[in-house]
Amino acid sequence: MFVLLFGPPGSGKGTQASALAERLGVPHVATGDIFRKHLREGTALGQLARSYMDRGQLVPDLVTCDLVASRLGENDAAGGVLFDGFPRSVPQLYWVLGHLGATGRSLAHVVNLQVDDRLILGRITGRRTCTNCGATYHVDSAPPDADGNCTRCGKPVVQRKDDTEEVVRDRLVAYAAQTFPCLEQLVGRVPVHNVDGVGSIEEVRVRIFSALGLQA
Ligand code: AP5
Ligand code: MG
Ligand code: ZN
């Protein structure tokens, strides 16, 4: 099953994705995470992506769609994936609908996480991310262990370079201009479930599961 977790930066896509992907039995495909992996490994793609990410702008569609095409070509993705942060422009949306459609597959559901801009700033500037496994934390609502290390793997957690207030504002502008319009195109083609993303992480998880008819 192909499912899309949609929503503005900081709405909780990454936080909710692991449990949902596990329940659906599909891999979690987050383009932002894949770009950051390339960054850590110092690849040419990582260098290119950095120049956009650090400014809060979208990496060009062709580069992003190529990356997703190769990820979808891996064995574990044949039966479905949970997309997080992709597609995030109308051209990316039409590309993925066409790419799946060409092999008789389709997007089954869209979960649209709704969080007010005012809350987003605090969530993102307080976020800390593991340098090793990519797990995310929040200085107030979901802190790492007492030494400031990752609870999952023990490695240091840091603030993402694009999680400063200045870059977040640019990311929100990019979301409004390029990503949000995807929703309009999706309505009528794919079931879109609007889910309130404000509440505890557990409360939001239960809402998402129930919107998809999954037992919490
Ligand atoms: P990406 O990594 O996808 O970032 P994003 O979409 O801006 O979203 P975030 O990861 O910031 O937020 P999230 O919704 O995952 O929130 P999270 O769960 O972490 O993209 C980064 C960049 O890569 C882009 O700007 C672009 O340059 C590039 N890129 C990526 N994909 C691309 C594409 N398809 N095309 C082109 N360019 C692309 O939660 C945030 C914080 O809130 C955390 O600290 C968390 O602990 C906390 N939190 C979560 N839920 C709750 C809750 N219920 N209550 C309290 N706190 C909570
Ligand atoms: Mg994320
Ligand atoms: Zn870790």
- Cα dihedral 181, 30, 121, 39 in deg (nearest 10): -120
- Cα dihedral 211, 180, 55, 61 in deg (nearest 10): 100
Q: How far is the CA of 189 from the CAs of 6, 78, 106, 110, in angstroms?
A: 15, 22, 10, 10
Mutate to test the pocket of ligand 1, among 52, 124, 159, 165 (most ligand atoms within 8 A of CB): 124
Look-up: residue for tokens 């979208």? 58
Domain 2-116+165-211 homologous superfamily, CATH:
P-loop containing nucleotide triphosphate hydrolases (3.40.50.300)
d(CA 152, CA 132): 10
**Structural domain boundaries in the chain:** 2-116+165-211
**pLDDT tens per residue, range 137-168:** 999 999 999 999 999 999 999 999 999 999 99
d(CA 141, CA 50): 28
58 ligand 1 Cβ < 6 A: yes
Residues annotated catalytic, as ranges: 13, 88, 127, 160, 171
pTM of the entire structure? Answer: 0.95
Q: How far is ligand 2, taken at its centre, from the CA of residue 136, in Å?
A: 8
**pLDDT tens per residue, range 63-79:** 999 999 999 999 999 99
Please give the pLDDT value at position 151.
96
